[in-house]
Structure 1
């Protein structure tokens, strides 16, 4: 499903009003978020994160060479590699593979990249059945909803809602018992997996040195999706690659810890080609689609290149105070939370997604918890700067010229003592009659009214600190003279 088209503000209000979502967000932030923070602070290898970040940036510097090495080795293993410049290219190639192999049913592992390029509706329009095999994604698909978290797609739903959904969609007798619900989903999904012609997955991290991609899960669905169908198509954002196996090992360790604070996921699969003679299982064809879709533009900009080091663990969502209140649907993107607030504008238009970077607090928690120490607050600030003043490279128009003019006027006012004092006098005059009995301003006119709509505002003091200081010292001097 596509993300909703409601505004960021309306989406945030809906998230705040969803009691089930609020309970789940609190649980995930008090659990995964705080545990990840404690883990980074107490880990024995304190150099792991900065070392991994340095390697990620070095790999990105030589991305063309590393990707060429990966493609060469996968082809040596009998696999196919296609470099897709756009989402449309990736979709077209996938459809061609499906048509050539007479595919009627596709099973999928959880993949944000597949959602980014819109592969599901494209396959369905071609008359191909598409089934999500990750339990959370399967629930979302049945509900015709959109994911609200990178790792836990259906945290906005509880077991009672899921029980009713399974009754309505799968025809099972109602139950709200989690193990029973899991067995229902397993039975349905096993039937799909056994009859599927093609499996589609994402790629957690590829390794150029070995010519393989790795896939991480705790359910086993990805391993079945990659070995049981005749054809396996893997969708990979071009930045999701490590140059060496040593780099890959460290990134895998950080990914799993950042996502669920585990030492190792239940299943880690390495795939690099079709099955060979003597292999007990595996696909007859393996296709890796390396997707650009705007990433080269990010790579070419030193200001934002760092965001490509992200390993999509979701740790920043688990600690962000904004996401922790409004949930993922408000972001109107396949990528939500702090990482989504940076990636979505860069991939899909900064002006079109201005609310995302403007809605974050810049508290820095996302940087502290990030396994590769990505400075998301810096990049969020950079996006805000482009929205304020425009940018030719990113084709950004000033978002609000009146607001920009206001801040320019404020900058000039606070640069002049006389102008600042005059501004204070005007402000004190204008606030008269708006101060309530509790000593606070509860309503403001015009755009300022948005601030006082949900909170009170402390009025300007009758005297500034400087004025009080001068008055105090002038009276002391007069006393000394007398």
Structure 2
């Protein structure tokens, strides 16, 4: 999927016209936002912790290759196998080879944005391997044949009635909209898959270099089951998730759940260091960690390197006025909202996602909400500038830029422009408002231009006085 201006606009229109979707997004983002505000207000020295974590993330990325080497060495010493994938295709190939080597026919997954990025499910399904999402939100959208609409709440766009309909189909019987009944049904159906699966696939919220540990942050028990019940566990992790030490991981954890859901800590915080040891009552016999690059390393040392500091909390989505109206699917990417508008063009190509840098009011709410203070508005402007510099801007946009430059370079033309526009607006003017037939003004009444400028009226006032 891509997100050109036409595609983004078309999908956003559908979302805005859907009252059920608007109600679902508003309710979820308000809940997340209020929870975040309360949780950070109760955290002593929250501002200092945010500054410390940002500095740590920047310093880690500056020596990313060293920390990845340290992680690989320690993870292998603990019995895990570590793989490095240059792009999504290679990551999928590695996972598929592991599955084929073990004769896997059923894999269960916990929530993973990295595998959404690489479209791993599609690769496995095409190879005949049934792949079941076990995070409740992810499973709901898998049943619906959709993609996530929010980084931490993949199914926030679904109402309770829609969820009941989907789970009724999965269960083969009608279910009420009662939440305890729906969750109990999901638990029963998914538990059968856990027990039958030969492979568990997860993401990784943090990768601790000093011990070779992958940290999983979840609010459902599925993460623990995915990483312990099947005999083979594969974690697909973006290379930017590395932190040097356990203390650094603790700093991220102190901010992550608070910024995401308003919790001091998620219900389950799991630490995976290698496979099961002799005598362990459970755990996988093999653990594979696949580090995904996919153009991340290309951003190091550039004006976009700051984007790699993201801890994937989703706080920027919850405050973004564009996301809150257009919803996540308008972005055409697993990563939506302000962070998605920055990293998707960087990871998947600016021409394919040309609308996303413009899907922002540049209000700065995302910068304020980000736990590590990533300057997303700056990078959105940088991407817009890159689009113009590389000739990716559309012909109408280029014409507008040239006309604006011409007007601003000549004072007389600049003064003539508003007067001419005021005379030409008559066919579109009703009372004191304009009703233009073209996007983005279509359907939006705009204030009519004054027939006389402020400077003209000021001169008249001074002359009369």
TM-score (norm 1): 0.92
Preserved CA contact (<8 Å) 2:194 2:226? yes
Preserved CA contact (<8 Å) 1:34 1:319? no
User: 2 CA distance for matches of 1:89 and 1:168?
Assistant: 35
Deviation track 1:267-308 (CA, whole Å, cap 9, x = no partner) reads 10001211111222111000000011111112242x100000
Deviation track 1:81-101 (CA, whole Å, cap 9, x = no partner) reads 001111111111111111111
Residue 4 (structure 1) shift = 9.8
Q: Label 1:400 to 1:41 Cα distance change in 2 as closer, same or farther (>3 A).
A: farther
Q: Label 1:181 to 1:3 Cα distance change in 2 as closer, same or farther (>3 A).
A: farther
> Residue 354 of structure 1: SS of its match in structure 2?
coil
Verify: 1:165 aligned to 2:166, yes or no: yes
Q: Which one is further off, 66-75 or 420-429? A: 420-429
Preserved CA contact (<8 Å) 2:60 2:67? yes
Aligned counterpart, 1:357 = 357
Q: Which one is further off, 99-108 or 305-314? A: 99-108
Aligned counterpart, 1:394 = none
User: What is the number of residues matched between the two proteins?
Assistant: 463
Aligned counterpart, 1:96 = 97
Verify: 1:474 aligned to 2:463, yes or no: yes
Structure 1 residues not aligned, in runs of 5+: 391-396, 477-482
Residue 473 (structure 1) shift = 2.1
User: 1 CA distance for matches of 2:180 and 2:337?
Assistant: 30
User: 2 CA distance for matches of 1:251 and 1:131?
Assistant: 29
User: 2 CA distance for matches of 1:173 and 1:429?
Assistant: 63
Query: What CA RMSD, in Å, does the superposition of the two structures yield over aligned residues?
Result: 1.8
Residue 468 (structure 1) shift = 2.1
Aligned counterpart, 1:11 = 11
Preserved CA contact (<8 Å) 2:175 2:182? no
Preserved CA contact (<8 Å) 1:200 1:225? yes
Aligned counterpart, 1:121 = 122
Aligned counterpart, 1:442 = 435
User: 1 CA distance for matches of 2:205 and 2:78?
Assistant: 20
Q: Which one is further off, 283-292 or 454-463? A: 454-463
> Residue 399 of structure 1: SS of its match in structure 2?
coil
Please list, as runs of the form range in 1=range in 2, the aligned pairs for 1:243-322 lying within 5 A after superposition.
243-301=244-302, 303-322=303-322
User: 2 CA distance for matches of 1:426 and 1:469?
Assistant: 20
Deviation track 1:22-63 (CA, whole Å, cap 9, x = no partner) reads 112111222211332454456421211111011101100000
Please list, as runs of the form range in 1=range in 2, the aligned pairs for 1:339-418 lying within 5 A after superposition.
339-390=339-390, 397-418=391-412
Deviation track 1:389-433 (CA, whole Å, cap 9, x = no partner) reads 22xxxxxx3312442232233234234332222223322222234
Please list, as runs of the form range in 1=range in 2, the aligned pairs for 1:120-159 lying within 5 A after superposition.
120-159=121-160
Preserved CA contact (<8 Å) 2:419 2:451? no
User: 1 CA distance for matches of 2:424 and 2:247?
Assistant: 64
User: 2 CA distance for matches of 1:283 and 1:351?
Assistant: 42
Q: Label 1:41 to 1:426 Cα distance change in 2 as closer, same or farther (>3 A).
A: farther
Greater radius of gyration (CA):
1
Preserved CA contact (<8 Å) 2:3 2:353? no
Residue 253 (structure 1) shift = 1.4
User: 2 CA distance for matches of 1:18 and 1:463?
Assistant: 41
User: 2 CA distance for matches of 1:452 and 1:18?
Assistant: 20
Q: Label 1:402 to 1:139 Cα distance change in 2 as closer, same or farther (>3 A).
A: closer
Aligned counterpart, 2:31 = 31
User: 1 CA distance for matches of 2:148 and 2:2?
Assistant: 8
| Greater relative contact order (CA < 8 Å, ≥ 6 in sequence) | 2
User: 2 CA distance for matches of 1:451 and 1:288?
Assistant: 46
